[in-house]
Amino acid sequence: MLLSLVIGSNAQTIPNAGFEHWTHLSYSNPNAWTESANTQSIGLSSLVSVTKVTGVNSVGSGIQLQSYSDSLTSPKQAEFGYILMGIAGNGNGISSLTGGVPFTQQPAQLQGFYQCSVMSGDTAIVFVMFKKAGQVISQSVKRFAGSQKTYTSFTLAITPFNNGTSPDSLIIGAVSSNILANNSVAVAGSSLTLDNLTFPGITDTIPNGSFESWTTLQTDKPDGWYDEGLAAIKSTNSQTQSYALLLTSTVSVYSNGNISGQVGTAYYPNNCQSNCNPIGGSPLIKQQDTLEGYYQYIPMHTDTANIYLQFIKNGVSVNGTSINLYSTVSSGKYTKFKIPFDNTPSADTVQISISSSYSSHSSPTCCAGSQLYIDNLYFASVGTTLGIPEYQLPGEFSVYPNPANESFKVKLDIPNSTPLTIQLISITGEVITSETYSDYKGSFEKEYSMDGIAKSIYMVRAITNDQVYLQKVVVQ
């Protein structure tokens, strides 16, 4: 009995598995501010959350920060727009921030101009923190709520310095939503615009506090993937087709440590705490399967790359598995990898993370320059994004005529009673059509119309209890 014919079925697939689809973006960051939410917002959602706007009295430029929703999760997860003169820490709150700029005086106030459009229940903030020998000696916060459509001056009184101690560094930042609230969650649409930040009455200044100096940057983001560090590079060194993913390990400008180039189908939210689970991933249909794909790896020293699969059940991590990838320099060719998995307990989501560096080394900067190319990922149960059969038994399964024009037939011999699924899959891994029979035995033969199906290369897949059959078909 025929149970269903489904268009766009939710099969176990990988977004943009062949890395053929990219979004090109141009954005600007304010100079001297060491961190900007643009790196994250573009990597998560292809959105520019920190923008250059017209300044006070329509003179020069100011800066606008906006909270935004990521592009992949459902329901959408809101994230903060921010700028920071410092280095984000691993702890909670602004007291965990490090770095900053040299500063030796004790100002009484921070002054500036602002506009805002803060959503109900949310608060935008500006914060200032002074440190001495790594210890916080003064910390102050200014909150903004509601709507202010024209530039208006504001003053933030600086908390008295501990024991009158003069600082050696300044950390300053601004956020479009309230990161200080317990279990803080951004509200998409909240915005804060700033200009002319100064400390009156002293000679020490805030570098580029007037927001007149900016650098324009370009990037390509792989569609369907999170790239929080904007590490992904659109490479023409592909295994097949036009493009591949390139990740390169770098040295942090601020912490003098190695940074692995990394992308994934999930990410950790801004308000993530110690036991936080990443957000995102793809539905997991089969608990027993194998992730396969192709890579080239050019490591520095003894570096290794890594691909990690994390399995989620009801939003909580239940299992994980990974593979290290080693140098392919000697062959100079793409090499196939396989990551088999068998989940116990069962999961409902799989998250994929790809990193250009993985090993621990005595030198934190040992691996800058390691390059990892990735192309044509797929689950074995689905088949390759290229339509190349991975499981095919000649004589038992056939698709004809091939190439096909108006229609083609599928023929399959099924010796034992079994559920049967027949699917048509695009070269990107999308399931175009899927039909399922609850029980079938004997010779299966059926003609499929190509009405409404674009000319391209496809893969026909037949799934029984104990076998997966795949055959490429060209639709002309």
What's the confidence (pLDDT) of residue 358? 76
The one-letter amino acid code at 392 reads Q
CATH number of the domain located at residue range(s) 223-379 in this protein: 2.60.120.890
Q: Are strands 431-449 and 101-102 parallel, antiparallel or unpaired?
A: unpaired
Burial class of residue 370 (count of CB atoms within 10 Å of its CB; 0-12, 13-18, 19+) = buried
CATH 2.60.40.1930 in the chain is located at 387-475
Tokens found for residue 397 = 């399964």
Neighbours of 29 (CB within 10 A): 21
Nearest alpha carbon to residue 377 among 314, 309, 428, 302: 428
Tokens found for residue 12 = 């176990």
d(CA 62, CA 211): 5
Rounded to two decimals, the pTM is: 0.73
Handedness of CA 231, 234, 237, 241 (dihedral sign): positive
What's the confidence (pLDDT) of residue 1? 26
d(CA 360, CA 365): 11
Q: Which CATH class is domain 27-215?
A: mainly beta
Tokens found for residue 289 = 């399967």
Q: What angle do CA 450, 455, 456 make, to 5 degrees?
A: 115
What's the confidence (pLDDT) of residue 92? 59
Nearest alpha carbon to residue 433 among 447, 456, 453: 453
d(CA 405, CA 412): 21
Whether the ω angle into residue 160 lies within 30 degrees of 0, i.e. cis, is no
Rg of the Cα atoms in the chain = 27
Q: Which residues of 180-194 are buried (b: 16+ CB within 10 A; e: fewer)?
A: eeeebbbbbbbbbbb
d(CA 350, CA 336): 21
pLDDT along the chain (476 residues), means of 10: 32 83 93 92 88 95 91 70 86 78 97 96 95 95 96 98 95 91 75 98 97 96 89 91 90 61 85 68 88 93 92 90 93 91 87 84 68 92 50 61 88 85 75 85 88 82 72 80
Q: Which residue is associated with the tokens 């700029």?
A: 101
CATH number of the domain located at residue range(s) 387-475 in this protein: 2.60.40.1930
What's the confidence (pLDDT) of residue 214? 98
230 contacts: CB under 8 Å, gap ≥ 6: 39, 42, 43, 219, 221
Half-sphere exposure in the Cβ direction for 264 (13 Å, CA) = 24
Q: At 229, give phi and psi (nearest 5°).
A: -95, 5
CATH 2.60.120.890 in the chain is located at 27-215, 223-379
Neighbours of 402 (CB within 10 A): 15
Tokens found for residue 85 = 């003169």
